[in-house]
A and B are shown apart, each in its own frame.
Chain A
């Protein structure tokens, strides 16, 4: 075995030893001496620690059972049985004694992340987003607390997939949709399949959405349904935002999700409308581009503030 191999074996042994609850100060002193014995030791320990962090990052998804591929006819039969079972569960309203704790996934401002669930569902988290996932026996439930997420839901007719966002429940069976919750407004776009949206916890007042439908709902207020283009609605995944005749206030409200320094609109600038493709790279670059398109001036104020101002009207 090479020297590097020995270091790695030793690093693994150290990783286990110092993570045992009875590791005392003497163990740490010995561990320090081992690290000081050479760069190879430190680097081997880096490798072990990095791998351990990566595993931690995947979380419980690693331990979740891998779904088996069932023959198609067996699946249909089971779907029928599950439907019956589901209706029974609804009426009897039995809750499992211990609901598994929800797993939290979140991103910081400017960060994106992918969450892979044990059923094969993929959730792309956009900037400043927090979701809670709980996968118990009969329902797959996600709460979108804030921000934006794109859901690629794996088909599973036995377990409905429900997203709770603000005062709404979004329910679907195998589809792709995007939800944004920002400043009391929920925007839902369906890229594939169908979803049903209802007031949270209720079954009446359901709105059905098909591919290409976009629902904008003001929390505790009304909803508007329109058609939208998938490339435009999902452009954030490519690092772009696309607008067609959008009020500048909406653009600014979006940008404030991506960047840490808040942007405000002054006076007449709020009434401007914007059409175009914005690449989300740096805050300064984005604002420069906007000021090239529109008659607005970017002002960097003291104390981490940026404002967009329309120049004084000249008649």
Chain B
């Protein structure tokens, strides 16, 4: 399907609204938040035209919904962190007015360590597995494109993706 008009996509949105709501409620574990995201999805659909290469319009809507739920979740986490930071800064303010330990230097060190750990975990993968994972994740190649680039089947690409993620999350994932 090519050259979708926003109005066609809106019609598909309306016919799938219940299924999308059910998906979002399961994803976010909250009916209210699911409604917020659905509303935002509707606004976005009415404002912007979809890309030309949408193969399956309904699947496209689910993917948009999932990405928006991810952003929503991240925003929720950030809000929590900000509140905690605010409480911290108030505590510091009550104490000495010294320019002491830099929290950002600590964070910088943490990020550097984390990057090094991720690279180490990647190096533990087989060379083909590592290459497949990097091509897909960081060079934006689809499973098919990675398959033809590496001269392997699509199912092997997916197997490598699975092995890589399992290994990385086992070594580095946060609970």
Mark A residues whose CB is within 8 Å of B: 8-9, 12-13, 15-16, 18, 20-25, 27-29, 31-32, 35-36, 39, 42, 45-51, 53, 55-56, 58-63, 66, 112, 114, 116, 122, 124, 231, 235, 237-240, 277, 279, 281-282
Inter-subunit contact B102/A237 (CB<8 Å): yes
Inter-subunit contact B173/A28 (CB<8 Å): no
Q: How far is the CB of A292 from chain B (nearest CB, A)?
A: 14
How far does the alpha carbon of A272 sit from the alpha carbon of B122 in the complex, in Å? 57
How far does the alpha carbon of A112 sit from the alpha carbon of B93 in the complex, in Å? 20
Determine the chain A residues whose CB is within 8 A of the CB of B70 once the complex forms: 49, 53
Inter-subunit contact A51/B173 (CB<8 Å): yes
Contact among B56, B144, B166 for A24, CB-based, below 8 A: B56
How far does the alpha carbon of A31 sit from the alpha carbon of B20 in the complex, in Å? 12
Consensus secondary structure, chain B interface: helix
Inter-subunit contact B166/A12 (CB<8 Å): yes
How far does the alpha carbon of A18 sit from the alpha carbon of B64 in the complex, in Å? 12
Determine the chain B residues whose CB is within 8 A of the CB of A237 once the complex forms: 102, 104-105
How far does the alpha carbon of A313 sit from the alpha carbon of B22 in the complex, in Å? 65
Return the chain A residue nearest B163 by Cβ.
A12
Inter-subunit contact B73/A51 (CB<8 Å): no
B66 at the interface (CB under 8 A from A): yes
Inter-subunit contact B142/A21 (CB<8 Å): yes
Inter-subunit contact B99/A21 (CB<8 Å): no
Return the chain A residue nearest B66 by Cβ.
A18
B42 at the interface (CB under 8 A from A): no
How far does the alpha carbon of A114 sit from the alpha carbon of B115 in the complex, in Å? 12
Given the known interface contacts A13-B162, A62-B119, A114-B111, the answer about A124 and B66 at a Cβ–Cβ threshold of 8 Å is: no
Given the known interface contacts A28-B62, A47-B174, the answer about A231 and B99 at a Cβ–Cβ threshold of 8 Å is: yes
Inter-subunit contact B166/A18 (CB<8 Å): no
Given the known interface contacts A18-B63, A27-B59, A237-B102, the answer about A50 and B122 at a Cβ–Cβ threshold of 8 Å is: no
With most chain B CB atoms within 10 A of its CB, the pick from A8, A50, A63, A237 is: A63
How far does the alpha carbon of A9 sit from the alpha carbon of B162 in the complex, in Å? 9
User: 8 Å CB contacts to A: which residues of B56-93?
Assistant: 56, 58-59, 62-63, 66, 70, 73-74, 86, 89-90, 93
Nearest 3 Cβ contacts at the A-B interface = A35-B26, A28-B62, A25-B58
Determine the chain B residues whose CB is within 8 A of the CB of A8 once the complex forms: 169
Determine the chain A residues whose CB is within 8 A of the CB of B104 once the complex forms: 112, 114, 124, 237-238
B43 at the interface (CB under 8 A from A): no
Return the chain A residue nearest B130 by Cβ.
A63
Determine the chain B residues whose CB is within 8 A of the CB of A59 once the complex forms: 138
With most chain B CB atoms within 10 A of its CB, the pick from A16, A42, A48 is: A16
Given the known interface contacts A12-B166, A50-B174, the answer about A58 and B89 at a Cβ–Cβ threshold of 8 Å is: no
How far does the alpha carbon of A303 sit from the alpha carbon of B68 in the complex, in Å? 30
Inter-subunit contact A281/B26 (CB<8 Å): no
Inter-subunit contact A32/B58 (CB<8 Å): no
